[in-house]
Amino acid sequence: MTTHLETKFEIKSWDEEPYRELPEGQKLARASVTLTAATPGLTPELAAEASLNMLLHYRADGTSTYLSLMYVEGRLGERTGGFALHGTGTYDGTRARGEFTIVPGSGIGELAGIEGSGASVSTHGDYPFMPFTLDYALG
């Protein structure tokens, strides 16, 4: 049975640095982001800390494409543990859109066996929050 969760991660820190300047105003960058999620009153509840690492390609117009790996650790419903998600996304100048998949076999603790996927769509107006949905099943 799949459970649907809608939450928001609060962006606690965002450390981004270019690591290669490319011709015509393009660049490659790395970002390390720290997130906190708390959805009191929602069922199932998520109370977790997350670390998100991204590799980004910026075009000259400021739009970008990125790859990411996120690790979430805390409580999901009545269970505690952690799991990893890998993702891809884009920023079109207005919205950041990301798609995530739980890394098979990454669940630990009471979240061992977790499977599923997630998504995030946000604008600068959402800051410091990142809306996030997660559809998951626990084995």
> Along the 139 residues of the chain, how does pLDDT read in single tens digits?
899 999 999 999 999 999 999 999 999 999 999 999 866 655 567 889 999 999 999 999 999 999 999 999 999 988 999 999 999 999 999 999 999 999 999 999 999 999 999 999 999 999 999 999 999 999 7
C-alpha dihedral (69, 73, 75, 81), degrees to nearest 10: 100
**What pTM was estimated for this model as a whole?**
0.91
Is the sign of the CA dihedral 14, 120, 30, 65 positive or negative?
A: negative
Map residue 125 onto helix, strand or coil: helix
For the record, the structure tokens of 49 come out as 């800390």
**What residues does each domain of the chain span?**
3-137
| Amino acid identity at 104 | P
Please identify, in words, the CATH class of the domain defined by 3-137. Answer: mainly beta
Tokens at 81, concatenated: 């543990």
